[in-house]
Structure 1
Amino acid sequence: MPALPQAAKQLFGAMPGPSPQAPEPFGSYSRGCVAGAVELPETGPTWQAMRLSRNRNWGHPDTIAFLERLSRAAVTEAGWNGLYIGDISQPRGGPMLTGHASHQSGLDADIWMLPPGRLDLTVQEREELSSISVRTEDQRNINGNWTPGHMAVLRAAAEDPAVARIFVAAAVKQEMCRAATGDRSWLRKVRPWWGHNFHFHVRLNCPEGATFCEDQAPIPAGTGCDETLAWWTSDEALIPDPNAPPPEPRPDLTLAQLPAQCSQVLTAQ
């Protein structure tokens, strides 16, 4: 019996640093890689990168610039000290060893819901500190951790032209729809998705001129504050069907299933 191809996550997860190429994302957010990634500095004037042991504070230069920009907005718009930044991408992108299907092309980033108390955390403290949930356990409402500052940071992210969409817990989107006043068009970029109660996930547009980068399908028209949003906190969405078959396990991606350029990104020295 022939050996199975090695999982791409093992290959990309083993790379300690970026490829020495011009910055360029290849493929899609969930099936791609990134050449010439740059590192978000571990600590800056308005941010700290968390969980440094994962080596996931790498991204396309546009992503790093956006995170620095948003962290400054967290100070001016929300009155926070800045932001705690979670996973961005591996040094050469690609499938991650654990935890994400996306974050492969250097254009995704997770931002903690925990407003920073300090920006001088040690490496060990960044491994041990946890974020906070802003959603109730039943997934239907926000909890007492949600503040106007969260709303201000998310609005600043959504109004940034580099941003394609932002994933949050459905209860967060519902609260934002309830509370937003004035121009509400920015709410369109804020999308409900499972599990985003400890962090929000920002996805950037493909950079201009990135020929081999694949954007996600366009967001539907409107703010998203409609009956489709109500479904996410309904019984139908939240109460499992006891008769439903278990989901099929998703096989690991192989290098051959990624864009052809990812082989060169992986081997470039």
Structure 2
Amino acid sequence: MFLAPIIMAAALTGTPADWAGVTRPAGQEAQPIGEYSNGCISGAVSADLKNPYYQVIRQQNRRFYGHPLLVEYINDLAGRAHDSGLPILLIGDMAMPRGGRFIRGHASHQSGLDVDIWFRMVKSPLSKSGLQTPWALTIVKDNFLETNSHYTKDTYTLIKLAATDDRVSRIFVHPAIKNQVCHDTPENDRAWVRKLRPWWGHTAHMHVRLECPAGALYCIKQPTVAEGDGCGAELESWLEDIRHPKKKKKEKPQKPVKKKVPEQCVELLNIK
């Protein structure tokens, strides 16, 4: 009797395509594993897709998963925003069902502790098509030195609410936005402003990153944000780079260093 050969599926190794092909979380215990930019998430949960105070955009990309602490943070922030009179929040990328690297976009958002929160807010819920193809609201002028008229009191309130939470490690915003917040905040109330970290891009959203949760044995922390509000020389160096960009020296292009995917993540990826 002839027996057909058994074809074994090749093991997944942790390429961006491997992570993107996963459609559901795995693992029983919620654990962020590895670095924010080289890791994964066990036991991820979905954002609340029916929350009245926020909507998740581009749900077709399946980037609305995270550690339960992240989902709790988003729910709490949206509730506080509503209580402060803000419109409905728009939530962008979180992580994929098991984390890992995106095919396109962020290098981070891999361990279920990052979320993009748009500066655009809406008075009434977006339609299905509006969620699938939303337009972003840039709040920085074309000169990249100042905020524009889309930066409002509501914008400032949202940023402050997001940052004044002990679960937050840091929030990435464009240098012009950090500069505006520094001007808008009295010096005796700037303890939270230190969490705002200048970074290129981030003109239409803020990137919120949470601390590693208590008991997260495999979560690799980032260095603690330096003391001080960051509104002085550090911020000025970013603005000076915008005013007078330095000419880049022509150097022989180097191959990017490829990070090794943590073994726990490869094992998680291959759970059926």
**Shared fold by TM > 0.5?**
yes
Residue 201 (str. 1) matches residue 226 (str. 2): no
TM superposition shift of 1:154: 1.1
Structure 1, unaligned runs of 5 or more: none
User: TM-score under structure 1 normalisation?
Assistant: 0.91
Which amino acid in the other structure matches residue 17 of structure 2? Q
Q: Does residue 1:191 correspond to 2:197, yes or no?
A: yes
TM-score w.r.t. the length of structure 2 is 0.90
Alignment equivalent of 1:223, drawn from 184, 206, 229: 229
Letter in 2 for 1:197: T
Matches of 1:246 and 1:226, distance apart in 2: 35
Report the CA distance between 1:246 and its aligned residue. 7.5
| Structure 2: gaps spanning 5 or more residues | 1-11
1:161 Cα offset (Å)? 0.7
Query: Is the alpha carbon distance of 1:150 and 1:248 closer, same or farther for their aligned partners in structure 2, counting shifts above 3 Å?
Result: farther
Q: Which residue of 1 aligns with 2:165?
A: 160
Pick from 34, 39, 45 the counterpart of residue 38 of structure 1.
Answer: 45
Q: Distance in 2 between matches of 1:112 and 1:22?
A: 30
Corresponding position: 1:116 with 2:122: yes
Alignment of 1:127-146 (within 5 A): 127-146=132-151
Counterpart check, 1:104 vs 2:110: yes
Cα distance in 2, alignment partners of residues 247 and 208 from structure 1: 41
Aligned equivalent of 1:267, options 256, 265, 270: 270
Instruction: Check the 8 A contact 1:52/1:123 in 2, yes or no.
Output: no
Deviation at 1:243, TM superposition (A): 3.9
**Aligned equivalent of 2:182:** 177
Per the alignment, residue 53 of structure 1 pairs with 60
Q: Contact 1:232 / 1:238 at 8 angstroms: preserved in 2? A: no
Q: 1:187 to 1:268 in 2, by over 3 A?
A: same
The amino acid across from 1:90 in the alignment is M
CA deviations on 1:213-258 (whole Å, 9 max, x unpaired) are 01111111101011110111214676251544486453665xxx12
Provide the C-alpha distance between the structure 2 equivalents of 1:154 and 1:227, rounded to a whole number of angstroms.
22
* Matching residue of 2:261: 258
Is it true that 1:211 corresponds to 2:214 in the alignment?
A: no
Larger radius of gyration: 2
Find the residue that maps to 2:207 and give its secondary structure. Answer: strand
* Contact 1:8/1:252, CA 8 A, preserved across alignment: no
Distance apart, 1:89 and its partner CA: 0.3
- Identical amino acids, percent of aligned pairs: 34
Residue deviations 1:2-32, cap 9 Å, x none? xxx9662111111011114211000010010
2:73 aligned with 1:70: no
Other-structure match for 1:88: 94
Q: CA deviation at 1:74?
A: 1.6
How far did residue 136 of structure 1 move? 0.9
Q: Give the match's secondary structure for 2:122.
A: coil
